[in-house]
Amino acid sequence: LQSNETGAWYPQPLYIQELQQLVNRLNVLIKHKTQETID
């Protein structure tokens, strides 16, 4: 991967940020579910 100096990196669109937030929330829910089943 190149550094920022090459201009290879651009700001992510809002929908990508929203998708990442949704994935993070799902991961948290899954972790809680797995912890409940383990307990």
| Paired tokens of 26 | 């799902």
In a domain, 1, yes or no: no
Q: Please check whether residue 5 lies inside any domain of the structure.
A: no
**Containing domain of residue 14, as a range?**
10-38
- pLDDT at residue 38, rounded to an integer: 73
Cβ atoms 19, 26 nearer than 8 A: no
- pTM reported for the whole predicted model: 0.54
Percent of the chain having pLDDT more than 90?
36
Q: Give yes or no for a contact between 2 and 8, defined as CB atoms under 8 angstroms apart.
A: yes
- What is the C-alpha to C-alpha distance for residues 30 and 8, in angstroms, rounded to an integer? 34
pLDDT below 50 — which residues of the chain? none
Question: What's the total number of domains in the chain?
Answer: 1
Domain contains 22: yes
